[in-house]
Chains A and B, each alone.
Chain A
Amino acid sequence: MTESMIWWSVAIYLVIAIAIAILARQGKMANMSGYFLGDRKMGGFVSAMSYSATTYSAFMMVGLAGLTYKGGVGALGFEIIYFAGVSLVAIFGPKFWAVGKKFGFVTPSEMLGHRYGDKKVSMAVAISSCIFLIPYAAVQLAGVGYLLQGATEGAIPFTTGVVLATVVAIFFSYIAGIRSVMWTDSLQAIMMIIASTLVAWLVIQGLGGFHALFDTLAEEKPQSLVVPGPGLFSFVTFLGLTIPWFFFSLSNPQVSQRLFMPSSLSAMRRMLMGFLVFGLIYTLVSVLWGFSALAAYPDLAQADLATATLLGSEHVPPVLGAIVLIGIMAAAISTIDSIMLTLSSMLARDVYANMKDGRDDGKQLLLGKIVIPIIAILAFGFAELQLDLIAVLSVAASSGLVAVVPATIGAFYWKRGTAAGALTSVVGTTLIVLLMYATGNKFLGLPAGIWGIIVATVLYVGVSLATRPQTERAEAFLDASTKY
């Protein structure tokens, strides 16, 4: 793969994606719901592809392949538990959708503020999400930087890749809000899955077939086929990684906001099922990449280089390697632009609008658009710090985002849940997870990923029981959530 081939591929991808983004401009985009939710009229297929592209980021083909390379099959287990967690959409999806339509919610944090009758809940959730998701977006940007640098042996420097990804993500968000994001996501998802599957197939053929691959692993790296395996996936570490990711579909606003968008429940079903089929294939492909790299190149200096090494190998035709490279870049961008869009909608709707009366829908939209590039620049700054190990940082974000999970589940199932309980849970958990990461991520031998959900639940239930609930409000909300 030469540098010029990569630049040409980037150029072709940009031309096609920009054309799609411009074609996606339709309907009213003059209000919050139009710009950030596509007027709640998104179809099933585009929702499924976009949900997949947003969820599966550079983490999969770079981080998960790297995690498999380093820790063996435990990486597959980790991803499958996360994948099973998306089943929460089958239960909570229709509820979000129903209350979203009834009360006109634009953000999941707005929904919580309404349910608990306290704007401070909305503000706290929005701010907590920013604290954790901006580094998460940064990790994606850094992924693009590492990838282009690795594949071209440094000819395209880290910073060039990061700048490119940042500029493209801002553009996709700006041109038509969620519509351009979802349509470009769909293109990217299709490209990601076809190219990556083809590469996995070619590489495995190159290594002598499926059986030969696993025979090599069984002989030379037998520990990679079991857990705890080479040591990365002790049971406690596995729990700490999987618990926060299990709740991803509820804890991450860039995906839970998607539950407001489908045009019907049939469309939501297609979104969920499309995602699950896509997700399983993509998971297996990414894990097979990691295994293939481990069998063919067992002595890499850094696990995160597994993917780049594989793409540069003789098993992959250079053109296909370049296409996958662009696919991975697209995967990162499709995650970043969704995060930027969701965070800006939350800052506009839940922070800005709640700080002073009279900040109507038009003013919120204007602020939301101003905030998008600011978030991008912050993420860019974090990416430039070049922190190690992509997967671990992403999980740090997920550990913190579980702060919102008990208050979200309680909103739909527990009338006794109160604003004070929700607020204490979100703020307390955010602070404790940050403190844990600052001090080595261990308390009583357990990581923040496990403590996050425990602390959030105890605070939510404990403080709710000690304070007075707004029963009528809770009943109206619960009633609306079952009417679909």
Chain B
Amino acid sequence: MQRSKWIWLVWAVVVLCYLVPYTVLSDVHAWYGSVLFWTLAGVAVIAINLYITKDFEGR
């Protein structure tokens, strides 16, 4: 599978960024609620991009 197909994983993270804080976490009034969720989403986006662009090296 082409690496670029993994971009769909980023789009899945984006969908979760809309769904989770507005449902599951809407009553968690602490740093480990939406603050942590969106921060981890940001870290996941970096990791996936690092993987997707691996083929750019040497070109």
Please report A residues at the B interface, Cβ cutoff 8 Å: 73-74, 76-77, 80-81, 83-85, 87, 90-91, 94, 210-211, 214, 218, 222-223, 225-228, 235, 238-239, 242, 246, 264-266, 268-269, 272-273, 276-277, 280, 283-284, 484
Question: What separation, in Å, do the CA atoms of A484 and B53 have in the docked complex?
Answer: 13
What residues of chain B lie closer than 8 Å to A264, measured between beta carbons?
59
* CB neighbors of A among B1-22 (8 A): 4, 7, 10, 13-14, 17-18, 21-22
Question: 12 A-B Cβ contacts within 8 A?
Answer: A81-B14, A83-B42, A84-B42, A90-B4, A91-B4, A211-B31, A214-B31, A218-B29, A225-B28, A265-B57, A273-B46, A276-B45
Q: Is A266 within 8 A of B29, CB to CB?
A: no
Question: What separation, in Å, do the CA atoms of A80 and B36 have in the docked complex?
Answer: 12
Q: Is A84 within 8 A of B28, CB to CB?
A: no
Residue of A87, A265, A276, A277 near B56 (CB, 8 A) is: A265
Q: How many Å from the CB of B25 to the closest CB on chain A? A: 7
Given the interface pairs A94-B56, A214-B30, the reply to whether A280 lies near B14 with Cβ below 8 Å is no
Question: What separation, in Å, do the CA atoms of A445 and B53 have in the docked complex?
Answer: 40
Residue of B18, B33, B42, B45 near A226 (CB, 8 A) is: B33
What residues of chain B lie closer than 8 Å to A484, measured between beta carbons?
59
Q: Is A227 within 8 A of B34, CB to CB?
A: yes
What residues of chain B lie closer than 8 Å to A225, measured between beta carbons?
28-31, 33-35
Q: How many Å from the CB of B29 to the closest CB on chain A? A: 4
What residues of chain A lie closer than 8 Å to B33, measured between beta carbons?
73, 225-226
Q: Is A77 within 8 A of B34, CB to CB?
A: yes
Q: Is B14 within 8 A of A84, CB to CB?
A: yes
Question: What separation, in Å, do the CA atoms of A77 and B17 have in the docked complex?
Answer: 7
Given the interface pairs A84-B14, A226-B26, the reply to whether A272 lies near B38 with Cβ below 8 Å is no
Q: Is A269 within 8 A of B57, CB to CB?
A: yes
Nearest neighbor of B37 in chain A, beta-carbon distance:
A77
Given the interface pairs A226-B27, A227-B21, A228-B22, the reply to whether A90 lies near B38 with Cβ below 8 Å is no
Q: Is A84 within 8 A of B31, CB to CB?
A: no
Residue of B4, B22, B52, B53 near A227 (CB, 8 A) is: B22
Question: What separation, in Å, do the CA atoms of A226 and B36 have in the docked complex?
Answer: 11
Q: How many Å from the CB of A210 to the closest CB on chain B? A: 8
Given the interface pairs A73-B34, A77-B17, the reply to whether A283 lies near B56 with Cβ below 8 Å is no
